[in-house]
Each structure stands twice: as C-alpha cells, then as structure tokens.
Amino acid sequence: MYKIVRKEELNSAVNLYEVEAPFIARKAQPGQFIILTLANDGERVPFTIAGYDREKGTVTIIVQTIGATTKKMSMLKEGDYFENFVGPLGKPTEMEGLKKVCVVGGGVGNAIAYPIAKALHDQGTIVHTVVGFRNKDIIILEKEFGECSDELVIMTDDGSYGQKGVVTVGLQQLLDAGNKYDEVITIGPMIMMKFVAKLTKEYGVKTVASMAPIMIDGTGMCGGCRVTVGGETKFACVDGPDFDAWEIDYDEAMERGRMYGEWERHAYDEACNLFKQEVK
C-alpha cells in the first residue's frame, strides 16, 4: 500500500499526488514513469514521474481526470492509499553534454516536461521552455517553469494568457531569433509533437519526443505500447518513452490511441454515476 501524503488541485481537471514510495524515490530519474492500481483487480495505469524527493522518500505524479480510473483517483484524499505503485520504469531522458535545449510541452504533458527542464537547469544547461494550454484557467506549473527556464514562453489557444497560438508558434519565434539548440525535447498531445517534429526538421534541430501510448504491463510483454520508429517496432515502456521525434509514425500512434475511446467513455460515465450515488 502506498500512502498519498499530499494532494493538490492544480486546476479543475488536474490533480497532483505526492506518494510515499521510498524505494522508487531512491532510483527515479526524469523521464521515467510508474504504473499504479487502485485495487489488485483494477486497471493498470502509467503516469510519468513529475518529481521525487529522495530524503522524504516520496514520488509525485500529476494526473488529468479523463477516464474511469482517473475519475476514481480524483475522489481520493490525503491519507488514502494506492494498492500498487510500481517503478521506476522506462529509460531516463538523456541529458549529458547538452548545453542549450528547448523544452516544448503541451497541456498536462507539461507535468512531464517540468522535471526534465529542471534537471537540465540544475546541470547547467541553458533552458528555453515553450508551454501551451487551451486557456489561462488550466495553466499549471508556471512558477516552477519560470524558476528553471532561462526563457519561458507561454502560449494559449485563445490568447487569454501569454501569447495566442500553439506551441509551434512560440518555438518558431525562438528559432527565427537565432537560437541554436543542441536539442528540442517535446512532450504532450501526439498531434502537437507531430507538428513540433515537422518544424524542427525544417530547421535541422535534433528533436526527441516522449511517447505515452496505451500501456498495460510496463515490461514489454504485452505489446500494447508498441510504436513504429524509423520503420521498426519499438515498445515505449522498455525502449522509451523517448524516441527520435523525426522517425515516429504519429498517425499510427494516434489511431491506436483511439481504439478504446468508446469503452473508456462508458467506464468514465459509470465512475461518475458511482460518485454521484456516494455523495447523495
């Protein structure tokens, strides 16, 4: 059992959970993930590690309420427990030797982008960060990004905060201003990463994308997280989650991601009905 020692609502649909998991905290690195279950017979759900405190023995995840399990998670309180919390899984993000990097995050993907930006900053890398959100009401981690970014560009689709537009607009501005990056690291919705990769390829800037496909066991056994990279099948849980952004077949990955949409909507509605019954 893994205790939730802190829960914080970052916006109406996104919660932060700090979880007591000392063995994971001891080994965790930016870019890795955990898999949790609410009960032994529950859904196995992967979440990228958003932070860790080795001294306290805690691991932080940031979760968007979007499906049945995340809806049930949103009902948990500080002092409640996850039945299982397994990790760290996946390969850490490679940062050695990088002198200047642009980190590009979208939506709740910024929960993954932040620990990478912070780790780069802590090792002395010049960090430019472009983060995108639909509107100002769902912005998360602005203060934290500001503290670890030499330059921070905030984009909103509707222009309600920062600059109006998508993240590629902000990234192109930085590239056109003459910034020479060793690497661009992009994390967020699949369609966003696809167009970030398309843009950076035009400028010849090496780019890495963090993939979060459907995942079940987290060890490469089930094959659920397979993605096509450079014409070869890779497994995000053991070969990634980071891959060469120019080589990913995003269209295939997006199609696979939609496979269980109808089932997930049905399960989400059931979870909502359960919640309504419990609060009556």
Length of the chain: 280
pLDDT of residue 180: 97
Is residue 260 scored above 80 in pLDDT?
A: no
In this prediction the pTM is: 0.85
pLDDT of residue 152: 97
- Give the other-Cβ count within 10 Å of 129's Cβ: 28
pLDDT of residue 279: 46
Confidence of residue 272 (pLDDT cuts 50, 70, 90): low
Confidence of residue 141 (pLDDT cuts 50, 70, 90): very high
pLDDT of residue 188: 92
pLDDT of residue 43: 86
- The residues with which 184 forms a beta bridge, in sequence order, are 102, 207
- The residues with which 85 forms a beta bridge, in sequence order, are 36
pLDDT of residue 259: 61
Kindly state the average pLDDT of the residues 52-62.
95
**Contact predicate 126/95, CB 8 Å:** no
d(CA 236, CA 149): 28
Domains parsed from the chain with CATH numbers: 2-89 (2.40.30.10), 100-257 (3.40.50.80)
